[in-house]
């Protein structure tokens, strides 16, 4: 697994994905999420992998332990590098996810890293308090989920850049902080609420950044990706 910015391939289908990837002539770290997977299924994972890219399969599993464990066992066969669940699914669910992932990983192949979503980057503290009825601050809620995720034996969490440093201090540097909600300075936030720039993410303790529309929606995606990469690697 490389540490390049993870490019979210949020496209409606395979044709758009390959048209987009054609512009890049280097191995990337890409994310296949619900939008693409719901249309193309596991085949898209195999095809993107054949191009030599590292893959984060972002399906955010959240169900009873037995269902998530069995689903993970199947996903493990796809040979992706990173997968996720929702921490709100609970510790037994996360433990079942690891068990499934280990059981399904072919012998001799390294199992995918498993991370858990804490509070989505599209969620505000006010929304969390009124809709989820969580009385903690957003930072405390994210930290709570990070601790729970670590106790369950996962490799890290998805959080916003704003919580990354506190998680590193609480759970250690090796516990991954994967942060979406990345925008270039002055860029449109769209539906994201807890955003940061690539250089801000680097400074504030992200392990990996996820970037979608700031690149895929740019007039020149290759140039935008280069700017994001340079800021992230600086």
Residues 6+ apart with CB under 8 A from 18: none
Report if residue 8 touches ligand OMP, rule: CB under 6 A: yes
Question: Please, what is the minimum distance in Å from the beta carbon of residue 34 to ligand OMP?
Answer: 7
Residues 6+ apart with CB under 8 A from 91: 148, 151, 152
Report if residue 33 touches ligand OMP, rule: CB under 6 A: yes
Report if residue 192 touches ligand OMP, rule: CB under 6 A: yes
Residues 6+ apart with CB under 8 A from 126: none
* Catalytic status, residue 4: no
Q: Which is nearer to ligand OMP, 98 or 163 (CB)?
A: 163
- Number of residues that this document lists for the chain: 234
Q: Give the residue, chosen from 5, 10, 85, 168, that forms a contact with ligand OMP under the rule CB under 6 A.
A: 10
Please state, in angstroms and as integers, the Cα–Cα distance from residue 107 to each residue in 49, 189, 232, following that order: 19, 43, 35
Report if residue 204 touches ligand OMP, rule: CB under 6 A: no
Report if residue 36 touches ligand OMP, rule: CB under 6 A: no
Q: Give the residue, chosen from 40, 58, 81, 163, that forms a contact with ligand OMP under the rule CB under 6 A.
A: 58
Question: Please, what is the minimum distance in Å from the beta carbon of residue 108 to ligand OMP?
Answer: 29
31 marked among binding-site residues: yes
62 marked among binding-site residues: yes
Give the interface segment with ligand OMP, choosing from 17-25, 96-104, 128-136, 206-214 (CB under 6 A).
Answer: 206-214
Report if residue 81 touches ligand OMP, rule: CB under 6 A: no
- Binding-site residue set for substrate: 10, 31, 58-67, 121, 183, 192, 212-213
The contact set with ligand OMP (CB under 6 A) reads 8, 10, 33, 58, 60, 84, 117, 120-121, 158, 180-182, 190, 192, 210-214
**Active site positions, annotated:** 60
């Amino acid at each position: 697994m490389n540490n390049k910015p993870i490019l979210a391939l949020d496209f409606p289908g395979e044709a758009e994905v390959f048209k987009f990837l054609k512009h890049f002539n280097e191995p990337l770290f890409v994310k296949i999420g619900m939008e693409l997977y719901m249309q193309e299924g596991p085949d898209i994972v195999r095809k993107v992998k054949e191009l030599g890219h590292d893959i984060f399969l972002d399906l955010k599993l959240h169900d009873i332990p037995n269902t998530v464990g069995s689903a993970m066992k199947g996903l493990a066969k796809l040979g992706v590098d990173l997968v996720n669940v929702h921490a709100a699914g609970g510790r037994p669910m996360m433990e079942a996810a690891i068990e499934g992932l280990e059981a399904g990983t072919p012998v001799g192949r390294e199992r995918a890293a498993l991370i858990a979503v804490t509070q989505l980057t599209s969620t505000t503290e006010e929304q969390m308090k009124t809709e989820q009825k969580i009385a903690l601050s957003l930072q405390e809620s994210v930290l709570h989920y990070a601790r729970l995720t670590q106790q369950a034996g996962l490799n890290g969490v998805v959080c916003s850049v704003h919580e990354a440093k506190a998680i590193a201090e609480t759970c250690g540097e090796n516990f991954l902080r994967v942060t979406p909600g990345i925008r270039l300075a002055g860029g449109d936030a769209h539906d994201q609420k807890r955003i940061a720039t690539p250089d801000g993410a680097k400074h504030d303790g992200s392990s990996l950044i996820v970037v979608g529309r700031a690149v895929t929606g740019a007039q020149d995606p290759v140039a935008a990706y280069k700017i994001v990469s340079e800021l992230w690697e600086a």
